[in-house]
Amino acid sequence: MQVNVTGIYPFANVGYKTVDMFFPIPKEVAESKNIRVWLNDEQLPWFLTEKGYVLNNGERVEFTYETLEGTFPLIMWTIPDAPEKFTIRVEYSYKVSSKEGELRTLYAMATGRFTGVYAKRCTAYVTVSLVNFQNHEFSIRLCPPPSTTAGASSFQFNVNTYEETFHVIEESSMFNGLNRDIQISTRIPVERTYEWRPYTPSNLNLKIDMQENYLVNITANILLPHGGFKLDWGGAEIVPNASKIEMDTKILEWTGPAPAIMINATNTYLVGPLKAGDYVLDFKANNLTVKTISFTVTEKNGASKNDLIEPVFYLLMVLPIAIVLMVLARKKLSL
């Protein structure tokens, strides 16, 4: 992760002629030495140091800059004839390497602990621009140095576009400096691989419809929770000498993104002819039994439509003949 930092700091001089200034930076920045410092529009020379100092009642008190990321080195520069008002601009850049799958950087703001007198209050306006971090979750934490008792604040957010900007405002209490650093971190997303995996349906309905000539329609209905499925219904097999019918479908589910719609899949198998008797239907998905049901084929199921129509036809033929005979019998009686 490439980190580019620009800090702009306005100052008001209260009577100092020569001013020594210290600025904490991450160790990686000190190693790269990609640092520039300006006084207004004039670039200043600087050098690295492990310790800085502040004046306390006219005496120098040395300090080191401790953070959650360890001790930060300092850059130092000198302003020989400090104006009454001036602006310091510091720019540095460096690359952050992953630590246990996390990218993390810390910007030092908690300089208020080294001096006790400030005019009114200090306010830091921090702009965080994130480029090419789509689908990353970031955490921004305002964290005190380990040696202080100030509380921490943190919040998380998701980056959805190629470039997004966030603003953070940190304000000190009255007549005090800032006492918390700002830490920005994100975890490197794990690249997921998607594949087709065998799926066992949980919502399956089977329906048996008896047909003529010992044939049977078997209708299978599967409710699939989304659109990411492949389904091969296969066929129905009559197991010899076992009074058993087996069906084995192949159902695969896509582990990646899929349409968020429920699919009602239906297939009808025509099985037979079957002998009269009791049968067990074994419905499988990917060679695993999902559901079994029992049904019976009777001699009645063996009758064809013609077998059923002929008795009705004979009945209709006999009925008129009987009526004619009855009429003739009545005529004879009347004679």
* pLDDT tens readout for residues 211-232: 888 899 999 999 999 999 999 9
Give the model's pLDDT for residue 240: 82
User: How far, in Å, CA of 234 to CA of 250, rounded?
Assistant: 7
Compute the average pLDDT of residues 16-32. Answer: 93
Backbone angles phi, psi at 27, to 5 degrees: -60, -35
User: How far, in Å, CA of 7 to CA of 98, rounded?
Assistant: 25
* pLDDT confidence bin for 16, thresholds 50/70/90: confident
Give the model's pLDDT for residue 231: 95
Q: C-alpha angle 204/258/284, rounded to 5°?
A: 25
Which residues on adjacent β-strands are paired with residue 86? 11
Check whether 320 has a pLDDT greater than 60: no
Is the distance from CB of 186 to CB of 102 less than 8 angstroms?
Answer: yes
Distances (CA, A) of 9 to 27, 37, 88, 89: 22, 11, 5, 6
pLDDT in tens, 277-319: 999 999 999 999 999 999 998 887 664 433 433 444 444 444 4
Backbone angles phi, psi at 85, to 5 degrees: -135, 140
Check whether 27 has a pLDDT greater than 90: yes
Other beta carbons less than 10 A from residue 285's beta carbon: 21
* pLDDT confidence bin for 100, thresholds 50/70/90: confident
Compute the average pLDDT of residues 78-106. Answer: 92
Give the model's pLDDT for residue 213: 86
Nearest one of 216, 161, 153, 157 to 181, comparing CA atoms: 153
Give the model's pLDDT for residue 107: 94
User: How far, in Å, CA of 106 to CA of 24, rounded?
Assistant: 11
Compute the average pLDDT of residues 170-192. Answer: 84
Which is more confident, 300 or 90?
A: 90
Check whether 331 has a pLDDT greater than 90: no
Give the model's pLDDT for residue 101: 81
* pLDDT confidence bin for 327, thresholds 50/70/90: very low
Give the model's pLDDT for residue 127: 93
Burial of 10-42, coded b for 16+ CB within 10 Å and e otherwise, reads: ebeeeeeeebebbbbbbebbbeeeebebebeee
Which is more confident, 62 or 15?
A: 62
Which is more confident, 114 or 209?
A: 209
Q: Which of 111-115, 206-210, 235-239 shows the lowest mean pLDDT across its residues?
A: 111-115
pLDDT in tens, 137-173: 899 999 988 877 668 888 888 888 999 999 999 988 8
Is the distance from CB of 75 to CB of 25 less than 8 angstroms?
Answer: yes
Question: 250: exposed, middle or buried (C-beta count within 10 Å: 0-12, 13-18, 19+)?
Answer: middle
Return the top range by mean pLDDT from 196-200, 272-276, 314-318. 196-200
Average pLDDT taken over every residue of the chain = 86
Check whether 111 has a pLDDT greater than 70: yes
Check whether 182 has a pLDDT greater than 90: yes
